[in-house]
């Protein structure tokens, strides 16, 4: 059984190496995804600002047209006031003229606010576009580097996979099935070393008699708590862990 456990330990080391390579490959894609997400967010921000810009431009045109109408009303009322015959007519035209002036002032104030906001929006759109362009440039550079890195990692992974396939031939089928099942259920760790009666997989104490049986290395034993395959952990293995 000692030899079989050694084979499983070697297989687990290979699988951990594979897992690390897969993690690095995923990290390469993740970094590119972050860059793409940034580009998308800047595009969405620019689009949102342009929609607001369009609404304000339309309102600005309406206000400018309204200002022209107000000025026309004021001029018309002032002309009529020069030719009125009664005080009642004068007061009526004066009120209409004052109302037009008030409306004109309100439109001018709103127009000023919109003009200032449009100027600020223009700056923000330019900033978002510049940031997007910068991110696209970096994405292109990162993609080239990522493709090279991914190629290197994939090549290493292929080599490790070949080594794994070769190693599995040395492991009895039933034991291999047990190992693979535990590896899937225990976050990639099917085996756990035991030091001084403590399982290093779950850090729980195992019964003394079970620990004594484990030290004999005569049979396949599982941790009562985490169900991993146990093996006596040497001092050298502890230092590497």
Return the pLDDT at 235.
58
Mean pLDDT of the 115-141 span: 95
Out of 111, 137, 168, pick the residue that ends a domain.
168
**% of the chain exceeding 90 in pLDDT:** 68
Domain that holds residue 79: 26-168
Note whether 181 and 222 are within 8 A (CB): no
Residue 219 counted as domain residue: yes
Residue 36 sits in the same domain as residue 86: yes
The CATH number of residue 101's host domain is 1.10.287.1490
The 10s digit of each residue's pLDDT in 28-46 is 889 899 999 999 999 999 9
Residue 74 sits in the same domain as residue 162: yes
Residue 151 sits in the same domain as residue 203: no
Would the pTM count as exceeding 0.85? no
What's the total number of domains in the chain?
2
Residue 155 sits in the same domain as residue 41: yes
Spatial strand order of the sheet with 191-195 comes to 198-199, 191-195, 229-232
Return the pLDDT at 180.
94
Mean pLDDT of the 211-240 span: 86
Residue 208 counted as domain residue: yes
Q: Work out the pLDDT band at 61, boundaries 50, 70, 90.
A: very high
Residue 18 counted as domain residue: no
Mean pLDDT of the 37-57 span: 95
Residue 81 sits in the same domain as residue 108: yes
Selected residue with higher pLDDT from 78 and 60: 60
């Amino acid at each position: 059984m000692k030899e079989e456990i050694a084979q499983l330990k070697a297989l687990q080391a290979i699988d951990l190496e594979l897992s690390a390579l897969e993690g690095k490959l995923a990290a390469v894609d993740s970094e590119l995804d972050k860059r793409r997400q940034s580009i998308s967010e800047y595009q969405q921000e620019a689009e949102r600002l342009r929609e607001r810009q369009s609404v304000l431009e339309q309102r600005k045109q309406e206000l400018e047209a309204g200002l022209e109408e107000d000025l026309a009303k004021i001029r018309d009322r002032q002309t009529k006031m020069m030719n009125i015959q009664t005080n009642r007519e004068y007061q009526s035209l004066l009120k209409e003229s004052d109302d037009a002036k008030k409306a004109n002032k309100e439109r001018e104030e709103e127009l000023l606010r919109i003009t200032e906001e449009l100027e600020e929006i223009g700056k923000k759109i330019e900033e978002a576009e510049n940031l997007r362009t910068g991110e696209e440039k970096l994405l292109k550079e990162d993609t080239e580097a990522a493709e090279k890195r991914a190629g290197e990692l994939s090549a290493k992974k292929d080599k490790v996979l070949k080594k794994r396939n070769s190693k599995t031939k040395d492991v009895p089928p039933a034991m291999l099935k047990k190992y693979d099942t535990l590896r899937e259920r225990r976050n990639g760790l099917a085996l756990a070393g035991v030091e001084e009666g403590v399982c290093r997989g779950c850090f729980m104490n195992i019964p003394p008699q079970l620990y004594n049986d484990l030290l004999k290395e005569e049979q396949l034993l599982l941790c009562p708590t985490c169900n991993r395959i146990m093996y006596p952990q040497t001092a050298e293995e502890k230092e590497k862990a």
